[in-house]
Structure 1
Amino acid sequence: MSECADCHAVGRFGSCEDLFHVLLALDHQRLAPWGPHHGVNVACYYLQHPSTAPKNTDDGQWAMIEAYGTGGLEAVNQIQSRRVAENRHGLFKPHDAMPAPARIHPPSFTIEDLSVDGSFPAEGYERRMNRWVSSVISERLGPV
């Protein structure tokens, strides 16, 4: 076990990157509960693991987190639909997205917690996603 330098998870079930790949495999099956949360999963992961986030891009990860925090998956789906439509017409500009505020508190819930035992069980997944999003928001804005 080794502690993650970005989120300080202890690595009980492998590295955060290993867990992220397991989660992405579940997301890409497009099955509930994982698939519908794909955009939020990616945003949470990259916001808690900035050293792994793609360089020179801002795909609006913070907008996804804020949308989920205030309006759930429906709000996220609206953002994603709008982006797809804008992209189809060559209008989407990722640099127009609002950057995330700087982290001021350490994470209280990480991908390791979301995974429960490394397997991301379906039972309780949405509740755990709410905790992950709340953690990412409180890391930057204080307690929610």
Structure 2
Amino acid sequence: MPGCPECGAPSDRCERFFHELIILDYSGRSPWAPLHAVSVSCYFFQHPSLVAGQEFYWALLHLYLRDGQDALIAHTVRARRRNSHRYGGRAPTVEDFPGAPPYPGPAVAPTTFATTIEDVAADGTFPAGGFADRARAWAEATVAAWGF
């Protein structure tokens, strides 16, 4: 079975795993839902052909790694509230997740990562036990591969 040309995972099941993870995220249950933004960011940075709004996702990952899940949730709730039609519908920006180093740009996209979505999937089902630790390792590996 060929590997993933973008992230270096041993199989080519990244997209399938991502869709399965998004279903778990949207279930609204822990441990998946609180880390939805981290999962999307990691997947996009490990598959740079898909990335849109890179600076936003970059800042979000750095905030999570620096300040933890609770800070990420607080900033995400605030950004989501601002995006509401009640508050003018402003889409989240880098300013919603302060303190990240500058986004390095797609020209330096790595093609191998110490932890990929395949590792986070574990047995292929994204088991709840240890998910938060695997997601953190995924975020750390993503940022490290990009040189930060």
Is 1:107–1:135's contact at 8 Å kept on the other side of the alignment? Answer: yes
Query: Sequence identity of aligned pairs in percent?
Result: 33
DSSP 3-state at the match of 2:67: helix
The one-letter amino acid of 2:113's match is P
1:114 Cα deviation (Å)? 0.5
Structure 1 residues 42-51 or 85-94, which shifts more? 85-94
1:106 Cα deviation (Å)? 3.0
Give the structure 2 partner of residue 3 of structure 1.
3
**TM-score of the superposed pair, with normalisation by structure 1:** 0.83
Is there any run of 5+ residues in structure 1 with no aligned partner, and where? none
Structure 1 residues 112-121 or 97-106, which shifts more? 97-106
1:73 Cα deviation (Å)? 1.1
1:129 Cα deviation (Å)? 1.1
1:78 Cα deviation (Å)? 2.2
The one-letter amino acid of 1:18's match is R
Q: What RMSD over aligned residues (CA atoms) do the two structures have, in Å? A: 2.3
Matched, 1:136 2:132: no
DSSP 3-state at the match of 1:141: coil
1:104 Cα deviation (Å)? 5.4
1:5-62: CA deviation from partner (whole Å, max 9, x where unpaired): 1101011xx51000000101111111111111111100110011111234xx347111
Matched, 1:42 2:40: yes
Bigger relative CO (Cα 8 Å, ≥ 6 apart): 2
How many correspondences in the alignment?
A: 138
DSSP 3-state at the match of 2:139: helix
1:104-125: CA deviation from partner (whole Å, max 9, x where unpaired): 5731100000011211111111
**TM-score of the superposed pair, with normalisation by structure 2:** 0.81
Q: How does 1:14-33 map to 2 (within 5 A)?
A: 15-33=13-31
The one-letter amino acid of 2:66's match is T
Matched, 1:76 2:72: yes
Is there any run of 5+ residues in structure 2 with no aligned partner, and where? none
The one-letter amino acid of 2:10's match is V
Runs in 1 of length 4+ with deviation above 4 angstroms?
93-99
- CA distance in 2 between partners of 1:9 and 1:124 (Å): 20
Is 1:43–1:65's contact at 8 Å kept on the other side of the alignment? Answer: yes
